[in-house]
Amino acid sequence: MSCTAMRKKIQAFLDGELPAGVAEVLKSHLAQCPACSQEAAALSKTWELLLELPDVQEVPDFIPATLARILADGENTRSRKLLSWLFPVPLSAATAALVIGLVIGIGLGRIIASTFLDRGETDTALYLEVFQDTPPQSIGDAYIKVNYAMEEKGI
Amino acid sequence: MYDQRTDFELLKAAAGKDPDAFRLFMARYQDRVYGLVCRFTGDRESARDLVQDIFLKVYRAAGSYTPDAGVFTWLYRITANHCINFMQSRKRDPLYAAEEDAALTPGVLSAVSRAATQETALEQQERARMVRRALDSLPLRQKMAITLLRFEGLSYKEISRVLECSVSAVESLVFRGMDALKKTLGAELEK
Ligand SMILES: [Zn+2]
């Protein structure tokens, strides 16, 4: 092996990563070649210098924050699934926000209605009367669509 | 009480949406992951977010873990990929280019006490900063290979599994990285 070839192997030699045969050859070369042994010394020094980056201390506990994100992630996935089921076409962020708002609003509306109207079960059609003649693509129209969809899905 | 379940069992349970199993898994490995992220990025603030992001990925991927890859290899692979992607996108972000120097301050890492030498704390800090700067100037895969080798004690073979390349590719990454560090640090030390 030439010195150039040897030099490429010195680091692996220092890391103990060379097969025994090659390591032997390199070792005896280092013993008799001042240039290559100087190279080995410089690499060893560099290796030691890396330890100037001292130990990492005080590891924070990442568990609570990560688990909170995992739970939130689960909720988002459920909302996304509902959205993609309702609207197979991709929605803009604004539209998606509107739909989520509608879903929440309908839910709240049912709770309020069932509380104040004192009914055993909610009757969406009653609340929908207000929106009977909503123009297509309007919020009222979206409300009706979302509401029917939720009813059908039993949400 | 210590949970006797293996990592594989914990990951399987986590994949079945058992957050308690995942809590135990994290307790076992968060130190190692944080250590690697800090070493690689040199930035404690980013490391806090990155570790969470990484474990979120681990949770989502838990079902795809098979025990034929050691859990460390698998976890290191996710961590290494995430860190490399993060540094790549940060390099492209002009906001961070200006902050580069601030990130190099060894705030992450408290100085090793070296009572035996006459060095002042300031000199030690300066050397730490110099090493950090030299490491950060390396291409990301070289930096990761050297970080895994030097600080995590991985063999070339283990690194090849983490970085998904051949052992000779690892040898080349380490050789080129160490050669560059030797030149940079050698020049710095002679100043
Ligand atoms: Zn030689």
pLDDT at B26: 97
Mutate to test the interface with A, among B175, B184, B188 (most CBs of A within 10 A): B175
**Predicted confidence (pLDDT) at residue A20 exceeds the cutoff of 60:** yes
The model's pTM: 0.72
Q: Which residues of A touch B34 (CB under 8 A)?
A: 56, 59-60, 62
CB pairs under 8 A between A and B: 110
The percentage of chain B sitting over the pLDDT mark of 70, rounded to a whole number, equals 85
Q: Is A128 helix (H, G, I), strand (E, B) or coil?
A: helix
Q: How far apart are CA A130 and CA A118, in angstroms?
A: 20
Domain ranges (residues) in chain B:
1-103
| All residues with CB under 5 Å from ion ligand 1 | A 3, 33, 36
Other residues' Cβ atoms within 10 Å of the Cβ of residue B191: 5
How many angstroms does the Cα of residue A33 sit away from the middle of ligand 1?
Answer: 5
**Predicted confidence (pLDDT) at residue B103 exceeds the cutoff of 70:** no
How many angstroms does the Cα of residue B176 sit away from the middle of ligand 1?
Answer: 18
Which band of pLDDT confidence, cut at 50, 70 and 90, is reported for residue A138? low
Domain ranges (residues) in chain A:
3-52, 62-122, 125-153
Judge: domain B1-103, CATH 1.25.40.10.
no
Asked if B185 and A69 come within 8 Å (Cβ–Cβ), the reply is no
Mutate to test the interface with B, among A63, A71, A75 (most CBs of B within 10 A): A63
Asked if B171 and A60 come within 8 Å (Cβ–Cβ), the reply is no
Asked if B178 and A51 come within 8 Å (Cβ–Cβ), the reply is no
A62 touches chain B (CB under 8 A): yes
pLDDT at B14: 92
Residue in B with minimal Cα distance to A10? B175
Token pair recorded at residue A128: 């929908």
Lowest mean pLDDT among A76-80, B58-62, B87-91, B113-117: B113-117
Q: How far apart are CA A85 and CA A149, in angstroms?
A: 9
The 8-class DSSP code of residue B109 comes to B
Q: Would you say B184 and B143 are in contact if contact means Cβ atoms under 8 Å apart?
A: no
Of B2 and B109, the structure prediction assigns the larger pLDDT to: B2
Mutate to test the interface with A, among B33, B171, B173 (most CBs of A within 10 A): B171
Q: Which residues of A touch B174 (CB under 8 A)?
A: 11-12, 15
Q: How far apart are CA A42 and CA A25, in angstroms?
A: 20
Q: What is the pLDDT of residues A44-102, one digit of tens each?
A: 999 999 998 877 888 999 999 999 998 887 777 767 666 676 666 665 666 666 656 66
Phi/psi at B109 (5° precision): -115, 120
**Predicted confidence (pLDDT) at residue B86 exceeds the cutoff of 70:** yes
Mean of per-residue pLDDT scores for chain B: 87
B82 touches chain A (CB under 8 A): no
* Shortest distance, CA B1 to any CA of chain A (angstroms): 18
Rg (C-alpha) for chain A, rounded Å, is 35
Q: How far apart are CA A80 and CA A88, in angstroms?
A: 11
Q: What is the pLDDT of residues B4-46, one digit of tens each?
A: 899 999 999 999 988 899 999 999 999 999 999 999 999 989 9
Q: How far apart are CA A109 and CA A47, in angstroms?
A: 68
pLDDT at A108: 64
Nearest to B52 among A43, A50, A65 (CB): A65
Token pair recorded at residue A119: 């009914």
How many angstroms does the Cα of residue A42 sit away from the middle of ligand 1?
Answer: 14
Q: Which residues of B touch A68 (CB under 8 A)?
A: none
